[in-house]
Amino acid sequence: MMATVKRLRRGKKNRSPLRRAIFDLVLLAAVLTLTTLVTCRLWEGVLAPNEGPPHALLGDAKVMQSDFTERCGRPTRASDSIRVDIVVSDDKAEWLTMASELYMSSCPNTQLTVSVLEDFTAAEAIANGDVKPGLWAPSSQLSIRLLEERWAHRRSPAPLGITPLESLLSSPTVLLVWDERSDMLSRVFAGDRRPLERVGLWASTVCAHVPVKEAEHPSGLPGRWADWVADRGVDLELNPSDVERWGRVKFVHASPSRTLHGFAALYLMTSDVLRDLGTFGREPFARALEENSALVEDWLTRCQSGLEPPSTEVGHLVDAMLNMGADGVDGVVTPENYVFDFLAKTNGHGPKLRRAQVLYPEPTFIADHPPVLLTYGEADTNEANLERQEAAGRFVAFLRSYELQREAAMMGFRPSHPDIEVAALDAQENPFLRLRRYGIKVEPLEQAPRIDGTTMRSLIDVWQLATGRS
């Protein structure tokens, strides 16, 4: 064994000092070359991170499409996607959330983060700095004016950039009413040419049997169906004892101080009262309210101070009407898009079993759903934030596409797309046509005059003084 080892040792070639030096130099050169290549590659990533298709998205066929940059902006690494924070109103949250998922699937370089907040809550949160969305999708221009009013009253108001874009959708305010109650209203106001669309129906239903000027009716509640009918000498087909069992007239709305749609109900009711006084119509709403605020406050006190605190969610009121039936709620003041599911559930077996109607008193409040780009001072003028604004604008353009607008119509919204008319969409899927026999209207509606944030605040203050609620 030892001999073998010796032979192996004797067979080993010994390098000369010159050859060893040459080998070491070659090895050092190879190490330096490799180090240089790695360093250059790293610096290339730092100095030009977005040059060419990003490594994380090289295999994504969407990025390689010719129109990708136009639709989605520059390609990015997965870890460097363009983030847009969005706040959306609760009424269209399902539609916009669905749209955001479709958009991110098509544009993987954009990350959309969607939060759902009722308009008044969102305006308060933005004004307080609790949320800072780059894109806000409220239900109405009124909510933007409320944000402006709240922002102006901050202790140290920094610049707030508000860029409203063109309306996405529209939703008129309507009355959802049980059939028997709807029939009774048509009899109560039978002297009018169109009794269920008459001017004054908002106030006449929500504050039924509460006179505007007289100091009577101190209960703080609307009147009873039987009293109302007796005063007007209505010719009844029903047994008077049945009407007596209906009790108080119960048309409900959401909180005017905490929700946009509750405020819309208050605004429409107050408009009716000011018209009845002969002031609103010949002068703007703001001035008419200022001149008659004490009278409006007294009227609201006699109508609503004895009611339970109103809900902060319109959807809950519609659900309550469905669950409680006519014994609990006669009707709800609601945006139109909330009525379709209700009608499908209650009236789903044909006209013989229909139980509810949708009424369209005019003028009405129309939620116009404007998207709004928001910037917060000088910090938002840098390149990254400008890129986020551009990404938000591209998403809004996606929301205006024919496919998304048509989907919104199927969910009960009136599209803003110029090529879509709800009356022309397929009747099988189109809720506006499928449920038209329950009072749904597709014609354009008269819109109540718009007001500013200061007038909104004034009317809310009047309601709060009248009812003792915040």
**Does 216 share its domain with 277?**
yes
Report which of residues 424 and 96 the model is more confident about.
96
Residue 338 domain-assigned (yes or no): yes
Retrieve residue 220's tokens: 């703080």
Report which of residues 238 and 307 the model is more confident about.
307
Residue 231 domain-assigned (yes or no): yes
Q: Percentage of residues in the chain with pLDDT exceeding 90?
A: 60
**Does 316 share its domain with 299?**
yes
Residue 22 domain-assigned (yes or no): no
Q: Residue 247, SS3?
A: coil
**Does 191 share its domain with 213?**
yes
How far apart CA 455 and CA 184 sit, in angstroms, is 35
How far apart CA 90 and CA 415 sit, in angstroms, is 18
Which strands, in side-by-side order, build the sheet including 160-164?
110-116, 82-88, 135-137, 372-376, 160-164
pLDDT 10s digits, 192-208:
655 555 558 999 999 99
Rounded to 10 degrees, the C-alpha dihedral 54/57/62/67 comes to -10
Identify the band that residue 376 occupies on the pLDDT scale cut at 50, 70 and 90.
confident
**Does 182 share its domain with 160?**
no
Beta-carbon contacts of 375 under 8 Å, excluding residues fewer than 6 positions away, are 134, 160, 161, 163, 381, 385, 389
Residue 251, beta-bridge partner list: 331
Which of 118-132, 166-180, 226-240, 244-258 comes out lowest in average pLDDT? 226-240
Closest CA to 99 of 346, 447, 406, 417: 406
**Does 152 share its domain with 188?**
no
**Does 211 share its domain with 117?**
no
DSSP assigned state of 363 = S
**Strands 135-137 and 160-164, how do they pair?**
unpaired
How far apart CA 335 and CA 91 sit, in angstroms, is 9
How far apart CA 116 and CA 133 sit, in angstroms, is 11
- Give the number of other Cβ atoms within 10 Å of residue 153's Cβ: 9
Beta-carbon contacts of 413 under 8 Å, excluding residues fewer than 6 positions away, are 92, 95, 169, 170, 171, 337, 369
- Contact criterion met (CB below 8 Å) for 147 and 162: yes
Residue 40 domain-assigned (yes or no): no
**Does 348 share its domain with 243?**
yes
**Does 212 share its domain with 323?**
yes
**Does 223 share its domain with 260?**
yes
How far apart CA 374 and CA 382 sit, in angstroms, is 14
**Does 97 share its domain with 209?**
no
**Does 363 share its domain with 378?**
no
**pLDDT score, position 216:** 63
3-state class percentages of the chain: helix first, strand second, coil last, to nearest 5: 50, 10, 35
- Give kind and range of the element (H or E) at residue 190: none
How far apart CA 127 and CA 343 sit, in angstroms, is 38
Retrieve residue 247's tokens: 């009790």
pLDDT 10s digits, 136-154:
999 999 999 999 999 988 7
Domain enclosing residue 331, as ranges? 171-367+440-467
- Contact criterion met (CB below 8 Å) for 433 and 256: no
The CATH number that applies at residue 460 is 3.40.190.10
Residue 423 domain-assigned (yes or no): no
Residue 5 domain-assigned (yes or no): no
**Does 376 share its domain with 346?**
no
Q: Is the pLDDT of residue 349 over 60?
A: no
User: What domain count does the chain have?
Assistant: 2
Residue 59 domain-assigned (yes or no): no
Residue 209 domain-assigned (yes or no): yes
Dihedral of alpha carbons 298, 310, 182, 363, sign: positive
